[in-house]
Amino acid sequence: MKSEKDQLLQKAQEEILRIFTSEYPSEKMPDFISKEVSGFGTTKDERIKGFKNFREVLELQYQQSKEAGIEVSYKKKPFKYWKDESGDLALLVNEFDLFVKNPEGTDKLDFRLSSLFQWIDDSWKLIHWHGSTPVNVVRDAWHLTEWQKKNKELQEKVEEQTKDLTLKNYQLQKAKEQIEEALRELKEAQEQLIQSEKMASLGELTAGIAHEIQNPLNFVNNFSEVNTELLDELKEEIETGNIEEVNALVKDIIENEEKINFHGKRADAIVKGMLEHSRSSNGQKVPTDINSLADEYLRLSYHGLRAKDKTFNATLETDFDQNLPIINVVSQDIGRVILNLITNAFHSIRDRKNNLNGSEFNPTVKISTKNFEEYVEIIVSDNGNGIPESIQQKIFQPFFTTKPTGQGTGLGLSLSYDIIRSHGGKIQVESGVGSGADFKLIIPKN
């Protein structure tokens, strides 16, 4: 490096080093940097194209070094260089120790810089450079270790997330099972409640009916006791030969037997009626005479209520459409609905009677049926206290009841609603406070 040009080249190289390692005034950079400079950096794997880009990168580097409190110094080592035939192109290759001082200490780096200079306008300008620091790993020409490390980290992350997901999935599965179990239990409880409502309504009937059976049974017992006495008397009169008395006694005995028979059959009918009601419905639709069904359940209900409370008195009216055809329904279920409506009607008129206390009130329950082309209509009417409009929709809700606690399950109308709905029909109420209520059942003929 003896000629002036060579000396200028050396100077240019030193300036370039200073540019890379310390804060260098950007207005002086064009003295040593070509407008079309390109380069590959090592700091951030930067690719530089053009002076503007070069300056931006360096200014950013200066700023970050300042912020991080970094000071860079270097120790030069002899460098290599090549020149081309023209003498206007020179490649310089430098290796040197770079000392990076940061607030925690000083780091030493091996730095390599290849710079290509061109003689432009009587000065050497950098046209391309490449800076690098070696990766400090033996036998890792292709940076496999780093790649593997990154890969391993990724895998570990994925594994962790998979574990996490698997756990969450398991927890969800468990939660799902718990919910299904809870749902099963709820359904069971619902079944039990419906069953207990059926039992309750059956229970109400049976209490009244058991009560009612007492009367005919009393007659059966009493008349048979009487007949035992009469038969003793008969024996005596036969011995005495009193034919007249014998005949009179025989007549009485026969009459009494007839009464025993009558009341026995009466009790039997009551029991049969009760068993009929309690028999589980198998859900089968059978051809049913709605008029007789309504009549039967009207009497059954009145019977049951009177048995519990013989002071209860009501006028029963029926208005059956004689043209009503036989239709296919689950007769026990429809019967249950009619029973429910009639029972409610009776309760309503009894309440009103109790409130009015002796005035001119004639409690009446009426059942009427009407035949329409597509459906049959059953109406249960009463002249009780009526139902306020505010609760007319609530009455069909499960557990809604206006009776005092302990009386009634509140499921009667809700079950009735379900039964009618399952027949494809409708249940409607028309009522006003003080003007009784009409419950209308509409059952399609199918």
Partner 1 sequence: MKILVVDDEKDVKTLFEQRFRKEIRSKTVDFVFAFSGKEALAYIDKLDHEAILILSDINMPGMSGLELLKEIKEKELTPKPIVMMISAYGDEQNYNTAKSLGADAFLTKPVDFKLLKEKLQLN
Give the interface with partner 1 as residue ranges (CB under 8 A). 211, 214-215, 217-219, 221-223, 226, 230, 252, 255-256, 259, 263, 306, 309-313
In the complex, the smallest distance separating the C-beta of residue 425 from partner 1, rounded to whole angstroms, is 35
Query: With contact defined as beta carbons under 8 Å apart, do 387 and 405 qualify?
Result: no
Q: Which is nearer to partner 1, 39 or 363 (CB)?
A: 363
Residue type (1 letter), 264: G
Q: Which is nearer to partner 1, 55 or 352 (CB)?
A: 352
Which helix (DSSP H) or strand (DSSP E) does residue 117 occupy? Answer: strand 105-120
Q: Which is nearer to partner 1, 233 or 321 (CB)?
A: 233
Q: Which is nearer to partner 1, 322 or 357 (CB)?
A: 357
In the complex, the smallest distance separating the C-beta of residue 222 from partner 1, rounded to whole angstroms, is 5
Q: Which is nearer to partner 1, 171 or 221 (CB)?
A: 221
Beta strand pairing call for 315-319 and 364-371: parallel
* Cα separation, 231 vs 224, whole angstroms: 10
Q: Which is nearer to partner 1, 123 or 215 (CB)?
A: 215
In the complex, the smallest distance separating the C-beta of residue 394 from partner 1, rounded to whole angstroms, is 33
Q: How many residues does the chain have?
A: 446
Q: Which is nearer to partner 1, 252 or 438 (CB)?
A: 252
Q: Which is nearer to partner 1, 222 or 371 (CB)?
A: 222
Query: With contact defined as beta carbons under 8 Å apart, do 87 and 124 qualify?
Result: no
3-class SS at 216? helix
Q: Could you count the other beta carbons within 10 Å of the beta carbon of residue 180?
A: 10
For residue 364, give the nearest of 354, 350, 377, 376 by alpha carbon: 350
* Residue with the two structure tokens 């190289």: 13
In the complex, the smallest distance separating the C-beta of residue 212 from partner 1, rounded to whole angstroms, is 10
Query: With contact defined as beta carbons under 8 Å apart, do 327 and 373 qualify?
Result: no
In the complex, the smallest distance separating the C-beta of residue 229 from partner 1, rounded to whole angstroms, is 9
In the complex, the smallest distance separating the C-beta of residue 189 from partner 1, rounded to whole angstroms, is 34
**Residues forming beta bridges with residue 318, ordered by sequence position:** 367
3-class SS at 316? strand
Q: Which is nearer to partner 1, 200 or 217 (CB)?
A: 217
In the complex, the smallest distance separating the C-beta of residue 259 from partner 1, rounded to whole angstroms, is 6
Query: With contact defined as beta carbons under 8 Å apart, do 72 and 65 qualify?
Result: yes
What the block records as the tokens of 15 is 């300036």
In the complex, the smallest distance separating the C-beta of residue 307 from partner 1, rounded to whole angstroms, is 8
* Residue with the two structure tokens 């069909």: 396
Q: Which is nearer to partner 1, 256 or 416 (CB)?
A: 256
* Cα separation, 156 vs 161, whole angstroms: 9
* Helix, strand, coil percentages for the chain (3-state, nearest 5): 50, 25, 25
Q: Which is nearer to partner 1, 83 or 306 (CB)?
A: 306
Q: Which is nearer to partner 1, 208 or 398 (CB)?
A: 208
In the complex, the smallest distance separating the C-beta of residue 242 from partner 1, rounded to whole angstroms, is 14
* Cα separation, 214 vs 227, whole angstroms: 20
* Cα separation, 166 vs 281, whole angstroms: 48
Which letter does DSSP use for residue 396 in this model? G
Give Cα 262 to chain centroid, integer Å.
60
In the complex, the smallest distance separating the C-beta of residue 392 from partner 1, rounded to whole angstroms, is 32
The residues near 83 (Cβ < 8 Å, ≥ 6 apart) are 89, 90, 91
* Cα separation, 174 vs 322, whole angstroms: 61
* Cα separation, 186 vs 364, whole angstroms: 41
In the complex, the smallest distance separating the C-beta of residue 358 from partner 1, rounded to whole angstroms, is 10
**Residues forming beta bridges with residue 439, ordered by sequence position:** 380, 429
